[in-house]
Amino acid sequence: MIILLKENANARQVDNLKKFLTNRGFDLHISEGTQHTLIGLIGDTSKLDIDLISSLDVVESVRRIQEPYKNANRKFHTADTVVDVGGAKIGGGHFMMIAGPCSVETHDQILSVAESVKASGANMLRGGAFKPRTSPYAFQGLHEKGIELLREAKKQTGLPIITEIMDINHLPLFEDVDVIQVGARNMQNFELLKELGQTRKPILLKRGLANTIEELLMSAEYIMAGGNEQVILCERGIRTFETATRNTLDLSAVPVLHKLTHLPVVVDPSHGTGVNDLVHPMALAAVAAGADGLIIEVHNDPPHALCDGKQSLTPEQFDHLAKAVRGILPFAAKEMTWE
């Protein structure tokens, strides 16, 4: 960490700062310019509060050289983390294909989708039981009943299941859930992250709509600081001025994350674009960019169905996509155990 002091910084306050830092075990390396003084900190600064330092009267600015995350940092853990979910693996060259409906609706719906995505090669089933909705008047999911139905689908198909948690008090309901998803809106729900850090279940952590890649890693660090090392990161689009897509899928985040962290990275092109016919090309693009997995919305399509997510694929479309993904996986040096 490099601290740039203000011109004409009060000498006593600078002294206080130096004492504060040496008391915390840092070696200081002072460099006096004609106008400015720099203090270089030698030691582990990942747990030093940068906001506190940069708010000091005598400090012009602070620049980290070390990243502010440690457990998630590839520098201290060079090998890829591989998360094993009942035999389905992600990370370290293992590719994971997660598919399923936006919401769990009925027994027949979830069973039918589960079987068809499995047949197409998915190795995990998704489905929302607790749905975060902008409006209090919108359908919010089947809750316990939804998880119950997912469990049945798991039993019948053997696919591990992933579903979203919205309140830490619901945790007991997630006992048979294989991967717990933290949604974009809860990426900085720090109390929730801390509690999940106490569990030993894999967590799929979605990037918030307005959150930087570094903030995503800091949220992963919250979970890992509690001892839960099995974090899967998920890029699902950020909010920009563009309105042709619901969000702007930031695929650059995939190679950036691979440089910074050893954690696996999944891409969600369904929420990332919000448009059905963009899912296929953006899913392939995600694989080409190096994603370790995909999470895709698939709905069943009975003749009279009223509702089919604008961004969901039909089972046929998903089957077509899964084949295309298989085609390019070798070019991305990934492979998958197709069930």
Q: Which stretch binds its own copies (CB under 8 A): 93-101, 106-114, 173-181, 220-228?
A: 220-228
Report yes or no: 99 and 117 within 8 Å, Cβ to Cβ: yes
| Binding of residue 17 to its own copies (CB under 8 A) | yes
333 part of the interface to its own copies, by CB under 8 A:
no
Residue from 22, 33, 198, 338 binding its own copies (CB under 8 A)? 33
- With CA atoms as reference, report the closest residue to 146 among 107, 178, 184, 181: 107
Cα 307 to the center of its chain, rounded Å: 28
Is residue 191 near its own copies by the rule CB under 8 A? yes
- Shortest distance, position 125 Cβ to its own copies, whole Å: 21
> Between residues 250 and 339, which has the closer beta carbon with respect to its own copies?
250
Q: Among residue numbers 43 through 102, which ones bind its own copies (CB under 8 A)?
A: 46-52, 54-57, 60-61, 63, 65, 68-69
Chosen residue from 8, 11, 25, 34 binding its own copies by CB under 8 A:
34
Note whether 128 binds its own copies by CB under 8 A. Answer: no
With binding defined as CB under 8 A, does residue 199 bind its own copies?
A: no
Any contact of residue 327 with its own copies (CB under 8 A)?
A: yes
Torsion angle, alpha carbons of 182, 184, 236, 333, to 10: -30
- Measured CA to CA in angstroms, residue 57 lies from 9, 48, 257 at distances of 8, 18, 34
Contact 331, 117 (CB under 8 A): no
- Give the shortest CB-127-to-its own copies separation in angstroms: 16
* Closest distance to its own copies from the beta carbon of 157 (Å): 26
We find the least distance from the C-beta atom of residue 331 to its own copies, in angstroms, to be 5
* 221/319 with CB nearer its own copies: 221
Helix ranges (DSSP H) in the chain:
11-23, 50-54, 107-120, 144-157, 190-198, 213-225, 253-260, 269-273, 276-288, 315-328
- Which residue number, 14 or 150, has a Cβ lying nearer to its own copies? 14
- In order of 78, 184, 216, the CA distances from 132 in angstroms are 36, 10, 19
What residues numbered 98-127 form the site for its own copies, per CB under 8 A? none
> CA-CA distances (angstroms) from residue 240 to 2, 169, 208?
32, 33, 12
Pick the piece of the chain touching its own copies (CB under 8 A) from 90-98, 118-126, 153-161, 237-245.
Answer: 237-245
Report yes or no: 75 and 67 within 8 Å, Cβ to Cβ.
Answer: yes
Contacting its own copies within 238-297 (CB under 8 A): 238-245, 248-256, 259, 272-273, 277-278, 281-282, 284-290
Q: In the complex, what is the shortest distance from the CB of residue 73 to its own copies, in angstroms, rounded to a whole number? A: 13
Q: Is 23 a residue that touches its own copies (CB under 8 A)? A: no
User: How far apart are alpha carbons 61 and 167 in whole angstroms?
Assistant: 38
Query: Quick one: 47 or 79, whose CB is closer to its own copies?
Result: 47
